[in-house]
Amino acid sequence: MQTLTFAVLPGDGIGPEVMAVALRVLEQAGQRFDFALDATHADIGGIAIDNHGVAFPDSTHKVCEDADAILFGSVGGPKWESLPPKEQPERASLLAIRKAFSLYANIRPGLLYEEIADASPLKRERIPEGIDIVCIRELTGGIYFGDKSTTRLDNGEEQAIDTMVYKTSEIERIAQVAIDTALARGKRVTSVDKANVLECSVLWRKVVTAYFAKHAPEIELDHMYVDNAAMQLARDPDQFDVLFTENMFGDILSDEMGIICGSLGMLASASLGARKNRLDRPFGLYEPSGGTAPDIAGQGIANPSAQILSAALMLRHSFGLHEAADAIETAVRSTVKAGIRTADIAFGLASVGSEAMGEAILKHLD
């Protein structure tokens, strides 16, 4: 029997609640598909600040280092918002862990099941068959990680600088991820930039065009300015198959994609890098895209689906357990189809809590 060694970092807010449900789903999938879990829990984010004084303690780094994958919850919350920005959970743990393991490729499947098309703010006639897009976002470069400073000018006012920076190799390696993703899907990629204004985008477009021409001429590649892409995503999401972009634009567009897909509570993600785990598969961090949801944390009503679907992505990418991943994804879909829904996707139906949603998904997994 295969044993899966992974780090579990539930974090803050709804993180621990939805993580508990996801672990039960993994456990049951293991019984059906013959694998065992070797999961080591560690603190990350605000809880780590409280318990260890820093958001990404060395002990947590070590747990991740020794694992084949990381299952991540979410970090941050009002309690830590008064800390200096550099010490806040989002920057000091989530961005730090992405950087520490060079997780440059963020894969976010934007999936709206036809059954819950009503949960989308888009009119039904715009999405007759639901939505099925994958956003590939560069995750360790750009304005997130370029030099930053805040200085006091001679006239006394403050000035802040963030630098957007990309080099050819960073663009090429993420272009390869877009190619791999597109080859397994519709062979259509829309690369999003702001090449009419930004030097980084001029380089992005040039490198992407050349890389695709050389390595995947069979893929239909389009370029779109980010402002237009944001509009097109709301106007006619069906035109997109693989949405491919740099860090900041991907942050914004993936939230837009999340909401047109009904709820951030359904949106999973995988962040991969060059590092291979002991199975010679990609080491990765798997997290829901929705954040800590402090407004509903502790109430037991959060949608556990994004965390469960992130766990499925972990099985697929880092452990090569495709059948088990498919089964979990199907179980989530069948549960939603059966009308068992948390409040964020209930739309007129009675809603259930995180636990009950998890129980229903477990039943469908059987």
Give the pairing type, strands 158-162 and 148-152: antiparallel
Which span (24-32, 117-125, 244-252, 267-275) binds Mg ion, by CB under 5 A?
Answer: 244-252
Residue type at position 193: D
Which span (65-73, 92-100, 120-128, 247-255) binds Mg ion, by CB under 5 A?
Answer: 247-255
The site that binds ligand IPM (CB under 6 A) totals a number of residues, namely 5
Tokens of 226: 């980010």
Q: Which is nearer to ligand IPM, 108 or 333 (CB)?
A: 108
Position 246 contacts ligand IPM (CB under 6 A): no
CA within 13 Å, CB half, 310: 38
Catalytic residue list contains 194: yes
Position 94 contacts ligand IPM (CB under 6 A): yes
Position 241 contacts ligand IPM (CB under 6 A): no
Task: Compute the least distance from the CB of residue 95 to ligand IPM, in Å.
Answer: 6
Q: What is the DSSP letter of 236?
A: -
Q: Which is nearer to ligand IPM, 99 or 126 (CB)?
A: 99
Among ligand IPM, Mg ion, none, residue 346 binds (CB under 5-8 Å by kind):
none
Task: Compute the least distance from the CB of residue 237 to Mg ion, in Å.
Answer: 18
Catalytic residue list contains 366: no
Task: Compute the least distance from the CB of residue 251 to ligand IPM, in Å.
Answer: 4
Q: Which is nearer to Mg ion, 216 or 267 (CB)?
A: 267
Tokens of 87: 């010490």
Position 107 contacts ligand IPM (CB under 6 A): no
Q: What is the DSSP letter of 320?
A: -
Q: CA–CA separation, 259 vs 147, rounded Å?
A: 31
Position 90 contacts ligand IPM (CB under 6 A): yes
The b-or-e profile of 164-182 (16+ CB within 10 A means b, else e) is bebeeebbebbbebbbebb
Catalytic residue (one of 166, 194, 286, 344): 194
DSSP structure string for 77-143:
-GGGTTS-GGGSHIIIIIIHHHHHTT--EEEEEEEE-GGGGGGSSS-GGG-BTBEEEEEEEE-SSGG
Q: CA–CA separation, 204 vs 183, rounded Å?
A: 21
Task: Compute the least distance from the CB of residue 278 to ligand IPM, in Å.
Answer: 27
Position 253 contacts ligand IPM (CB under 6 A): no
139 phi/psi in degrees, rounded to 5: -120, -5
Position 251 contacts ligand IPM (CB under 6 A): yes
The footprint of ligand IPM on residues 284-343 (CB under 6 A) is 289
Catalytic residue list contains 255: yes
Cα 20 → chain centroid: 19
Tokens of 157: 């006012």
Among ligand IPM, Mg ion, none, residue 241 binds (CB under 5-8 Å by kind):
none
Give the catalytic positions in this structure: 144, 194, 227, 251, 255
Q: Tell me which residues touch ligand IPM (CB under 6 A).
A: 90, 94-95, 251, 289
